[in-house]
Each structure stands twice: as structure tokens, then as C-alpha cells.
Amino acid sequence: MPSHKIREIVILSGKGGTGKTSLVGALAALIPEKILVDCDVDAPDLHLLLAPQIQSREEFLGGRKAQIISQLCTSCGECRAVCRFEAISEEYRVDETACEGCGVCVHFCPFGAIEFPPVICGEWFHSATRFGPLIHAQLAPGQENSGLLVALIRGKARDLAEIKGIPLILVDGPPGIGCPVISSLTGASGVLLVTEPTLSGLHDLDRIVSLSRHFKIPPLVLINKVDLNPEMAERIEAYCRENGLSLAGTLPYDPAVTEAMVQGKTILEWSRNGLGEKIRSIWEQVQRQIITD
């Protein structure tokens, strides 16, 4: 058991491009004591705002892939017959982008002609930033097992929080509702859902709300770029009321967010009289709703 209580807040959205990473960057600048984790391991962007200095890097062995040793292969067809992923060609070559790593062909090859080596699927990093420690990763493009890599870096962040006595872990999550999202979400203290006032934003918000509730993680909603469509913003607020969801706040569209990103800065460092106060009050809401209960 840790000597102190660690809270883990995950930022998700369902739909991509709603502003998760820009928000996490701003919160990184705002909150004094925390560990940052970028769980969007196949398209990580948080490091572009935080300029991390990598202190340690490790390979991520994400699973195994079948490899046919052509000298031993008799082209008997057994592997092709048992593979459900159509990963073995007529020339008895394994398509590594189709191979699921199930090992069924390895087991059933009568000639022991299939090897099953572990594959390096990416790397993970422990870094220092101007806003504290960042645990992040890069899945090799086109690789699988992103959920496993997410679970691994969340575990590393938790270990670090325990050792350093840091009470908060802030997680920048991936888009969607599938494997890496589930892996980012399970066991977290709370989730902040960033949406935008569009039909797509609302549609995907509804899916991620259902997912949060499926895993019994209390969700809070933030409407970003709220002034781009006040009518849709009102609809999302009504959706939240009807579904018993608390609103953490709203943020206006601000071109300074992109300007800050181009400079490698968070919005809080870039624009002094812009979104800062609003983000501060959103964080207070999150603390009230998720952290103190």
C-alpha cells in the first residue's frame, strides 16, 4: 500500500482533435505537484509542448510474431490451415502486419519450422520537463499492443508517484473507445471528457461517457471551443443535465492555442490574459468533484 493517496485523472474525448493535449499542457503548467503521462502512445504529442529531457529509455517488447524458417519448411500447409488471420502467404511467408501473435501456427507446425521471437513494438521514456516528470512512449508505427504499453507506462507513473510521494497523476489519453482507451481508464480516480460543440463531438462524447460508466469511473465534461456553435453547446449542456453529468466548465475558441503550440509552449505560458483563469476554475471543479470525494 502506498503511504499516501494517489489520485489519477485521465483526460479523454472519444473524438480526436478536441483539445485533450493542449488542455493537459495547460494543466501541467498550472498544477504544482504531479506526474504527467502521455497514454496516446501511437500518436503522442504532449512532448511537443513540454520539451522533455529524456532521463531513461527502455524498449517495449509488445508480443511475439511468427517467422517461418524456410530451410525447415516443407510447405505442408498446416500453418495456413490453422491461422485465422490469413497471415501466411501461399509462398509461406508471414505478413507481419497481419500476424496477431497467437502462436497457433508455431504450435501446430509438424517440422518445428516456425520461430516465435518477441518483437520490439516501441519505447518508453522517463523524462524531466519544466513542469515535472513525464512518462511517455512511442509505439513503433503500425505496431500492436498499444493497450499493453499504456498499462506499462501507467504502472511506471504510479511507481514513481509512490517513491516520490506525489499525490497526483495526470494522464493524456488517446482518442476512441477501444483497447488503449480502456487501458488508460481502468482503475483511474476520475475522467475529464473534452468535447466540442459539434454533432460529432456529442456523438462521441456519448460513447466515451458510456465507456466510463461501464468501468465505473465518474466522468466530468468540458466543452472546448464553446463559442464556435452556441446552439450545439446548449445541446451538449442539456445532454449532460439529462444524463446526470457534471460540467467542469467551458473554454472559448482561441487561436492563441495554436500559436502557443507552434512555439512549443502551453497556452498558460503564451497568453497571459486569455484562457488561464478559466482553466484554473475548471481545475478547481475537477478537484472538487473528483479529488476531494
Partner 1 sequence: MIISVASGKGGTGKTSVAVALAQSLEEPVELLDCDVEAPNGHIFMKPRWESRETVYAQIPQVDEAQCTYCRACSQLCQFKAILVLGETILTFPEMCHACGGCFLVCKPGALIPAQKELGEVEAGWSGDIRFVHGRLKIGEPMSPPLIREVKKRRDPNRVTILDAPPGTSCPVIQTVKGSDFTVLVTEPTPFGLYDLKLAVEVLDRLRIPCGVVINRADVGDRKVKDYLRARGLPLLLEIPFDRRIAAGYARGQSLIEIRPELKADMQNLFREIQGLLKETPQVRYALP
Element (H, E) at 194: strand 190-195
- The nearest distance, CB 221 to partner 1, in angstroms, is 16
Q: Does 104 bind partner 1 (CB under 8 A)?
A: yes
Task: Give yes or no for residue 112 binding partner 1 (CB under 8 A).
Answer: no
Does the protein bind partner 1 through residue 25 (CB under 8 A)?
no
User: Does residue number 211 form part of the binding site for partner 1 (CB under 8 A)?
Assistant: yes
Among 258, 281, 284, 288, binds partner 1 (CB under 8 A): 258
Interatomic CA distance for residues 283 and 249, integer angstroms: 9
CB of 20 to partner 1, least distance (A): 9
- Cα 242 to chain centroid distance, Å, stands at 28
Please state whether beta strands 67-68 and 190-195 pair in parallel, antiparallel, or not at all (unpaired): unpaired
Cell 529524456 belongs to which residue? 54
| Residue tagged 482507451 (cell numbers) | 181
Residue 19 near residue 192 (C-beta atoms within 8 A)? no
In the numeric block, which cell numbers belong to residue 69? Answer: 524458417
For residue 74, the minimal CB distance to partner 1 (Å) is 20
Contact string 132-151 vs partner 1 (x = CB under 8 A)? -------x-xxxx-xx----
Q: Beta strand 132-139 with 118-129: parallel, antiparallel or unpaired?
A: antiparallel
The amino acid that residue 138 corresponds to is Q
Distance between CA atoms of 88 and 104, rounded to whole angstroms?
12
**Least distance CB 158 / partner 1 (angstroms):** 21
Query: What does the binding site for partner 1 look like in residue numbers (CB under 8 A)?
Result: 14-18, 21, 40, 42-43, 45, 48, 63-64, 82, 84-85, 97-98, 100-104, 107-108, 139, 141-144, 146-147, 174-183, 196-200, 203-204, 207, 210-211, 214-215, 228-229, 231-232, 255, 258, 261-262, 264
